[in-house]
Structure 1
Amino acid sequence: MSSDNLVKSLDRALQIFEVLGSRRGGYGVTEISKEIGLNKTSVYRMLSTFVRHGYVEQDAETEKYKLGYKILELSSALLEFIDLRTEAKPILKELENLTNEVIHLVVYDRGEVVYIEKLEGNETLRMHSKVGTRAPMHCTGVGKVIMAYLPSSEVSKIMDRQALEKYTVHTIVDKEALHDHLAEIRRNGFAYDLEENEIGISCIAAPIFDHTGKIVAAVSISGPTMRMTTERLGELQGHITDISKRISVRLGYQE
């Protein structure tokens, strides 16, 4: 944006917010004046206005200024209105264009994953997945990566409530082995599905977190096993983890 279009006083005001947000203990008028290159009188007037509206608070003992709770109210309102699918869609589209493979976005619901977005890619691939359908946790990349970051009590409930059905010869159906596998996924930050749900289909998945740090979704790249070689999956690791982190950031997550 051209500097000609900026409202200078508003630009300065926003700089003050950025300064106040950089230190827990707060800042004095003189410090802020030096930080943004504005005279103390103007800084004081702006701060007084912010205090009046609740966006800034002044410590009665130190007389230093810090961000007020009104800022938190606005942040909370923004986070409440964030829609996962809307925020993720353009980022998922980038991943589809980059890989030409099928891209899935799923959420966790009552012990299963639910597909809420599917991008088909440019390569021909027939899969059972459709938007709105459910899938088991223990044999899908997206399901396993979500399980890996759920509380252990929730994971135990999933395993106890639903039998670990053997979908293919590669499906993990032993509880102890699955627990060990989930621990490995947490260490790696991503999960594989190596023909565990459908013969001939392999994928790599990564977790998505919300502003509270809670696991809320997962994203995956799927393709035929003949194309999803060990080398290919290794190449996709960086892409899938980068995409999952970018979506998490859009949801307010701070690592």
Structure 2
Amino acid sequence: MSDQVAVSGSTSSGGKSRDSGQVRAVARATRIVTALAEHPFPLGIVELAQFVQLSPASVHRILVTLVQVGWVEQNTRTAKYRLGMQAVGVGMVGLVSNPVLHDARMFLSRLAQWSGHDAVLSTLVGFKTVQLTRVAGSATEFIEFEPGHPQPAHAMADGKLLMSYMPVEQRRWLYEAEPLRMFTPNTITDPEAIEREFVAIQERGYAVDNYERFAVGRGIAAPVMDTEGRPIAAMLCLGKIDPAQDEEIVQQMLALTREMSERLKGAGDLPASALDLAEPDEEAL
């Protein structure tokens, strides 16, 4: 009888409302986990509420559940929150088992060997870009990166590329929650200027950073697309790249990313883009 009631309820208008609320709760929990992943230090409830644009009460309710299931941990001395061991473990398994990363290493090796520069596959975590895997180029003298170490998306080619596909409302979260930080004199920190940059990226199909994150090197990024023409990841060529090489490198990268997408699609392993899954809801701070 209880099963019948549950089924009946799920088909009623009230059931639909409950389902909608459950989906919204999952989306909010995802935003909280993502915000914790973006920031290198533990965050308090008020800080988290600001970053995810929810009320502190809502954030606290969701955190209670996330702590119970091990995805979030709370420091007993400071009462601040960080990612839990369950989240860390799931992420590490993904790095080992994900077919996109396995295929990417072959294509990154080709780019690194051809260009002499580092070749990287990266994704967005909130408004930070995170390296998933990397192949060093023979001519690299660049700063060492660790997989999983977040970098500011607005200052790097791969981050700008992926952000350009986001709904404008999502990008506004960043401008409202945290000012765009300057790393070099070339870093774009004005919201209107970076929005113009996103338009230019969409028009040409790739992104470049001109010493915007590091004064010693620059990057070029091309998207790995899903079947709907949205990026699942970014391929990044990073190093002391001579601007005179840009056009040739871009053509090589666009060819590699297309080939990688087709290979994943043929194997049934091409995921859908997740860039628009965490849009704002109606709750205001």
Structure 2 contact 140–239 (Cα < 8 Å) conserved: no
In structure 1, the partner of 2:247 is 234
Q: How does 1:144-223 map to 2 (within 5 A)?
A: 144-223=160-239
Question: Which structure has the larger Rg?
Answer: 1
AA at the equivalent of 1:145: L
Structure 2, unaligned stretches of length 5 or more? 1-96, 273-285
In structure 1, distance between residues paired with 2:234 and 2:145? 15
Structure 1 contact 82–251 (Cα < 8 Å) conserved: no
> What is the CA distance between 1:123 and its match in structure 2?
1.0
AA at the equivalent of 2:196: D
> SS of the counterpart of 2:108?
helix
Q: 2:135 matched to 1:122?
A: no
Q: CA RMSD in A?
A: 2.0
AA at the equivalent of 1:246: E
- Bigger RCO (CA 8 Å, 6+ sep): 2
AA at the equivalent of 1:243: L
Structure 1 contact 142–206 (Cα < 8 Å) conserved: yes
In structure 2, distance between residues paired with 1:82 and 1:126? 27
Aligned length: 171
In structure 1, distance between residues paired with 2:244 and 2:186? 20
AA at the equivalent of 1:233: D
> What is the CA distance between 1:104 and its match in structure 2?
1.1
TM-score (ref. length: structure 1): 0.62
> SS of the counterpart of 1:233?
helix
Moved more, 232-241 or 148-157: 148-157
> What is the CA distance between 1:102 and its match in structure 2?
0.6
Match of 2:147 among 124, 131, 134: 131
In structure 2, distance between residues paired with 1:135 and 1:187? 25
Q: How does 1:58-73 map to 2 (within 5 A)?
A: none
In structure 1, the partner of 2:18 is none
Moved more, 183-192 or 149-158: 149-158
Structure 1 contact 211–251 (Cα < 8 Å) conserved: no
Structure 2 contact 182–189 (Cα < 8 Å) conserved: yes
Moved more, 206-215 or 106-115: 206-215
Structure 1 contact 144–191 (Cα < 8 Å) conserved: yes
> What is the CA distance between 1:210 and its match in structure 2?
2.4
TM-score (ref. length: structure 2): 0.56
Structure 1, unaligned stretches of length 5 or more? 1-80
> What is the CA distance between 1:90 and its match in structure 2?
0.8
In structure 1, the partner of 2:85 is none
> What is the CA distance between 1:122 and its match in structure 2?
0.6
> What is the CA distance between 1:88 and its match in structure 2?
1.2
In structure 1, distance between residues paired with 2:140 and 2:197? 30
> What is the CA distance between 1:233 and its match in structure 2?
1.3
> What is the CA distance between 1:212 and its match in structure 2?
4.2
